[in-house]
C-alpha cells in the first residue's frame, strides 16, 4: 500500500531503492504516528469532517494499534511503504471506509514531522534522565574523593596538583552545559507542525491549536513553510546536542583508559568490567571505555553527516530527508548506551590513594612554592625565576601544605553550587 497510489505501477528496482530502510526505522515512529493520528481525528471531528459516531470507532481502532505496538506485535508488511501507510491500512481493515478518512487535511510531510517531533521529544527526556543519573554519580564521587590527590596535566605533561574530587566534579559541571544545550533543542522541537500539510497549508478549516494542545506541544510552528523547513533543521540542532554530550563522555572514557594503564595506575576497574587477551594471560583491558570513546567520536561526526544530507536544498520537502533517520536514530541508541554503561561502571572504579608520594610528581608543587614566595611579598616574576632556577639545578623540594580556597579549586569544590546550576537547567 502507498498513500499516493493511483493504480500505476513503479519499477521494482526504483521502488526498493526509494523505500530504502524506512520500514526498519519507521517502527521507532509507530507509537507516535498513532498518537498524532488520534489527535488529528479528534480535530477533524471537531470541524465536522468525521461524524460523531465514527470518532469513537477510529479512536478505539488507534488504541488497539497502540496496544500492538506496545506488545511488539506491530509490523510494516512487505509492499507497504512506511508506517503511515501501515496504520491507515490496518484501520481500513478494521473499519472499512471510515479508516480512509484519517488522512484528510494531512500530507505525509507534516505527518512525519509530527512523528519525529514526538519521537525526539521522548528520546530527549530519556537522555536527560540518564544525564541526571550520571551527574549524581559524578557529584557524589567528587565529594567522596576530594582529598585524594592526583597529578593534573597540560600538554600531556605533569602540571599542577589536582584531585579526584576536582576531576569528577569537572565532568559533572560539564554535563550542566550539555543539558542546557539539550534543553534548548527540546524547546525548538516542542512546537507543532501538524496542519502544515505538504508545506503550504490546507483549504480545510483545520484547528491547529487544538492538535497542539492534544499533543502537548508548547506552541505552534505557525508559518507552514517554516514548519516544513524544520525537517533537517531539527535534526541539525539535535545532532549538535548529541555531539556535545558525546564529547564529554568520550573525554571521560579516554581519561579512564589512560589512568587505568599500568604506567599511570591512578584507578582500577573491577575484573568483571574488563576483558582479556587471547595470548597475554595478564591482560585486563578497559574495552568498555574504549568502545565508549570510539562511539562518542562517531557521535561527534553526526552534525557533519546531517549537513551532508541537507546542504544546498531549497525550501520545501525533498526525499533526501529520508536518509536522516539512518544517521540520527542509531546515534540516539549509541548515545543512550554510552550513558548507561558509564552510569553502570563509574561507581565501581577504585581510586588509588597517595599517588603523589612518588618523587616523579615533586615538580607538581612548583606553583605552590612560587605562590608562597608571593605571599611573603616577593614580586611574582622574581619568585617564578627563583623557583625555576631551583628546578633547573635539581634543588627544588616542597614540604608545605596546599592552601586552595577560591571557588572551584581543590579546597572549595562548590559541589552544591554545581548541583544548584544543574537543577535550574533540569527544571526547564
Tell me which DSSP letter residue 3 carries: T
CA 258, 260, 266, 272 torsion: positive or negative? positive
Kindly name the residue from 9, 103, 155, 184 that is annotated as catalytic: 155
Q: Are 127 and 426 in contact (CB under 8 A)?
A: no
Q: How far is CA 46 from the centre of its chain?
A: 38
Decide if 84 is catalytic. Answer: no
List all residues 6 or more positions away from 159 whose beta carbon is below 8 Å from its beta carbon.
151, 152, 153, 364
pLDDT in tens, the chain (428 residues): 555 455 566 777 777 777 777 788 899 999 999 999 999 999 999 999 999 999 999 999 999 999 999 999 999 998 888 999 999 999 999 999 999 999 999 999 999 999 999 999 999 999 999 999 999 999 999 999 999 999 999 999 999 999 999 999 999 999 999 999 999 999 999 999 999 999 999 999 999 999 999 999 999 999 999 999 999 999 999 999 999 999 999 999 999 999 999 999 999 998 888 888 778 888 888 899 999 999 999 999 999 999 999 999 999 999 999 999 999 999 999 999 999 999 999 999 999 999 999 988 999 999 999 999 999 999 999 999 999 999 999 999 998 889 899 999 999 999 999 999 999 999 88
Number of neighbouring beta carbons within 10 Å of residue 112: 25
Tell me which DSSP letter residue 204 carries: S
CA 354, CA 164: separation in Å to the nearest integer? 12
CATH number of 12-104: 1.10.275.10
From the options 3.40.190.10, 3.40.50.720, 2.70.98.20, 1.20.200.10, give the CATH code of 109-151+163-203+223-356: 1.20.200.10
CA 126, CA 352: separation in Å to the nearest integer? 34
Q: Are 236 and 147 in contact (CB under 8 A)?
A: no
Decide if 155 is catalytic. Answer: yes
Spatial CA neighbour of 33 closest among 101, 94, 90, 118: 118
CA 166, CA 411: separation in Å to the nearest integer? 9
Number of neighbouring beta carbons within 10 Å of residue 1: 15
Give the pLDDT confidence of 411-422 residue by residue, as tens digits.
Answer: 999 999 999 999
Q: Are 269 and 286 in contact (CB under 8 A)?
A: yes
Per the DSSP assignment, residues forming a β-bridge with 162 are 150
Kindly name the residue from 40, 104, 162, 277 that is annotated as catalytic: 277
> Domain extents for the chain?
12-104, 109-151+163-203+223-356, 359-426
The predicted model scores a pTM of 0.93
CA 418, CA 321: separation in Å to the nearest integer? 39
- The DSSP result for 9-49, as a single string, is ---HHHHHHHHTTHHHHHGGGHHHHHHHHHHHHHHHHHTTS
List all residues 6 or more positions away from 407 whose beta carbon is below 8 Å from its beta carbon.
414, 417
Q: Which residue has the cell 510552528?
A: 221
How do 149-154 and 157-163 pair as beta strands? antiparallel
Spatial CA neighbour of 188 closest among 248, 127, 120: 120
The reply to whether 12-104 and 109-151+163-203+223-356 are identical in fold is no
Amino acid at each position: 500500500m502507498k498513500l499516493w497510489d493511483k493504480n500505476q505501477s513503479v519499477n521494482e528496482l526504483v521502488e526498493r531503492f526509494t523505500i530504502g530502510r524506512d520500514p526498519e526505522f519507521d517502527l521507532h515512529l509507530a507509537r507516535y504516528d498513532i498518537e498524532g493520528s488520534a489527535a488529528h481525528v479528534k480535530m477533524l471531528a471537531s470541524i465536522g469532517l468525521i461524524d460523531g459516531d465514527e470518532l469513537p470507532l477510529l479512536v478505539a481502532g488507534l488504541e488497539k494499534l497502540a496496544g500492538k505496538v506496545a506488545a511488539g506485535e506491530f509490523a510494516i508488511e512487505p509492499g507497504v511503504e512506511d508506517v503511515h501507510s501501515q496504520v491507515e491500512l490496518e484501520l481500513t481493515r478494521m473499519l472499512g471506509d471510515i479508516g480512509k478518512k484519517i488522512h484528510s487535511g494531512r500530507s505525509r510531510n507534516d505527518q512525519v514531522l509530527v512523528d519525529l517531533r514526538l519521537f525526539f521529544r521522548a528520546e530527549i527526556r530519556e537522555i536527560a534522565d540518564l544525564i541526571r543519573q550520571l551527574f549524581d554519580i559524578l557529584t557524589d564521587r567528587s565529594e567522596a574523593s576530594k582529598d585524594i590527590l592526583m597529578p593534573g596535566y597540560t600538554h600531556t605533561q605533569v602540571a599542577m596538583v589536582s584531585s579526584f574530587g576536582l576531576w569528577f566534579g569537572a565532568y559533572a559541571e560539564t554535563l550542566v552545559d550539555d543539558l542546557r544545550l539539550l534543553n534548548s533543542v527540546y524547546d525548538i522541537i516542542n512546537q507543532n507542525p501538524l496542519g502544515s500539510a505538504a508545506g503550504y497549508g490546507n483549504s480545510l478549516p483545520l484547528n491547529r491549536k487544538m492538535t497542539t494542545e492534544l499533543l502537548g506541544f508548547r506552541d505552534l510552528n505557525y508559518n507552514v513553510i517554516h514548519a516544513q523547513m524544520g525537517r533537517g533543521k531539527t535534526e541539525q540542532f539535535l545532532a549538535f546536542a548529541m555531539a556535545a554530550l558525546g564529547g564529554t563522555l568520550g573525554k571521560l572514557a579516554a581519561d579512564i583508559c589512560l589512568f587505568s594503564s599500568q604506567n599511570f595506575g591512578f584507578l582500577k576497574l573491577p575484573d568483571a568490567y574488563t576483558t582479556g587477551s587471547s595470548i597475554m594471560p595478564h591482560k585486563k583491558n578497559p574495552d568498555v571505555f574504549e568502545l565508549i570513546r570510539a562511539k562518542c567520536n562517531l557521535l561527534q561526526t553526526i552534525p557533519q553527516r546531517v549537513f551532508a544530507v541537507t546542504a544546498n536544498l531549497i525550501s520545501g520537502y525533498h526525499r533526501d530527508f529520508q536518509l536522516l533517520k539512518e544517521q540520527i536514530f542509531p546515534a540516539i541508541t549509541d548515545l543512550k548506551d554510552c550513558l548507561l554503561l558509564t552510569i553502570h561502571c563509574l561507581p565501581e572504579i577504585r581510586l588509588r590513594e597517595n599517588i603523589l608520594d612518588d618523587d616523579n610528581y615533586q615538580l607538581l608543587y612548583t606553583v605552590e612554592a612560587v605562590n608562597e614566595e608571593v605571599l611573603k611579598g616577593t614580586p611574582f616574576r622574581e619568585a617564578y625565576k627563583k623557583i625555576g632556577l631551583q628546578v633547573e639545578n635539581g634543588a627544588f623540594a616542597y614540604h608545605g601544605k596546599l592552601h586552595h580556597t577560591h571557588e572551584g579549586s581543590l579546597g572549595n569544590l562548590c559541589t552544591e553550587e554545581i548541583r544548584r546550576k544543574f537543577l535550574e537547567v533540569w527544571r526547564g
